[in-house]
Amino acid sequence: MSMLHVDVAVIGGGVTGLASAMALAERGASVCVLEREGKTGRAASTHNSGVIHAGIYYPQGSLKARLCVEGRDRLYAFCERHHIPHARCGKLIIAGDDHEIEELHKLRGIAHGNGVTTVVEVDAAFIKSKEPNVRAIAALWSPDTGIVEAEELVKTLERRCRELDVAVVVGSPLIDAVLVAEHIELATPHERFTAATVVNAAGLYADDVSRMLGASIFQIYPCRGEYAELAPGRRSMVNGLVYPLPHASGAGLGVHLAKTTWGSVTLGPTIHYQERKDDYESDRLPLEDFVEPAQRLLPWVTLADLQPGGSGIRAKLHGPDQGFADFLIERDAKNPRVIQAAGIDSPGLTSCLAVGERVAGIWSGGRA
Ligand SMILES: Cc1cc2nc3c(=O)[nH]c(=O)nc-3n(C[C@H](O)[C@H](O)[C@H](O)COP(=O)(O)OP(=O)(O)OC[C@H]3O[C@@H](n4cnc5c(N)ncnc54)[C@H](O)[C@@H]3O)c2cc1C
């Protein structure tokens, strides 16, 4: 049994936990990250669309709106500095008919309210110049949306953490926690740690971890998103990011096309709430179910143009009947030794560096 005392233990080695650990270490804290899997970033952090969101959609003043804009700028700069594959490729949000043009006006208003004033309405000629194979009568063009290679982002965050002397311990699930006067004792199957502060960045398991830490009770709802891909011979038919209008219910951004940094084109993600937090594969949607949503963006698509893609599971703080829940990033009211960084669904990849800064700010007292 080894024994380590740290200022801060971060539970979860996804982008939220790693970015938080990095920001904490940069402020002089001694930090360890506990990650249950054998590698960092195996959950949502590498099972996503890889889109750097501009900050268009979220309710004005929400953490999602603010941290997306701040995180986007931080992420572009971080990718430049550390040579992480990325592109500020821009994105189209398209309207197929006159009714949808009204919705585009509204969405542009929301984007501008969030400070994303580079979003403009464009006509069919502009759309054709960007995406000759897409069918639309008008669109919003967001030049500050982009893509990033999530695997490289995770690796770089982990490397930066290690350079800052953060102990990143993989294969080490938190299995028990005991509150002692001045700190929390944490147990994994292999180690015991003591920490003055614990950051809960456990993604899908943040509700279980919060309970273990004697902190607030909340529920994480696992919500699977599945992808198809364009067959390799069809990839050149899409140049960047093409989205429909978001679901009116607030359920998500809609099944969209995303050209990855390595040239494949994904179509998805779908939305399906499920019980299990670790089930990526059972009852996958048949490929046929992707044809109709694909044809709304690319009318020429047939089943033969598609192949199966991956899937990811969102850690949502709301069930299927509610439209929106914000990120939960705060000092816990029940156990103030815990800082929650939970409910980090989309745009959590984009926002990770801003989330990390916020967590570190709470720790150092700046934003408590
Ligand atoms: C389908 C899909 C598409 C998405 N697309 C985008 C996008 O295009 N752009 C965008 O900005 N965002 C996107 N997101 C959201 C983004 O991926 C997440 O917000 C982000 O990855 C969350 O990171 P995280 O570190 O909080 O969670 P995770 O990556 O899930 O990390 C949590 C970590 O905690 C570990 N853990 C859990 N329990 C324990 C324990 N007891 N002990 C130790 N470790 C534990 C897990 O193993 C895991 O590694 C998407 C998400 C999904 C699912």
For residue 298, the number of C-alpha atoms closer than 13 Å in the C-beta half-sphere is 29
Cβ of 10 closer than 6 Å to ligand 1, yes or no, is: no
Query: How far apart, in Å, are the Cα atoms of 242 and each of 44, 296, 297, 305, 333?
Result: 22, 11, 7, 17, 41
* Residue-level pLDDT at 3: 61
Closest CA to ligand 1's atom 19: 348
CATH no. for 2-46+151-219+324-363: 3.50.50.60
Cα 80 to averaged position of ligand 1 atoms, centre (Å): 23
Cα 307 to averaged position of ligand 1 atoms, centre (Å): 25
Cα 311 to averaged position of ligand 1 atoms, centre (Å): 13
For each of the chain's 368 residues, which pLDDT tens digit applies? 446 899 999 999 999 999 999 999 999 999 999 999 999 999 999 999 999 999 999 999 999 999 999 999 999 999 999 999 999 999 999 998 888 999 999 999 999 999 999 999 999 999 999 999 998 999 999 999 999 999 999 999 999 999 999 999 999 999 999 998 789 999 999 989 899 999 999 999 999 999 999 999 999 999 999 999 999 999 999 999 999 998 766 567 788 999 999 999 999 999 999 999 999 999 999 999 999 999 999 999 999 999 999 999 999 999 998 889 999 999 999 999 999 999 999 999 999 999 999 999 999 994 33
Q: Which atom of ligand 1 is nearest to the CA of 350?
A: 11
* Residue-level pLDDT at 246: 86
Cβ of 146 closer than 6 Å to ligand 1, yes or no, is: no
Q: Which CATH architecture has domain 88-145+221-316?
A: 2-Layer Sandwich (3.30)
Residues 271, 276, 280: CA angle, nearest 5 degrees: 60
Residue with tokens 């821009």: 90
Please list the alpha-helical segments (H only) found in 213-301: 291-297
CA distance 80 to 200: 29
Provide the residue ranges of all domains of the chain, joining segments of one domain with +: 2-46+151-219+324-363, 88-145+221-316
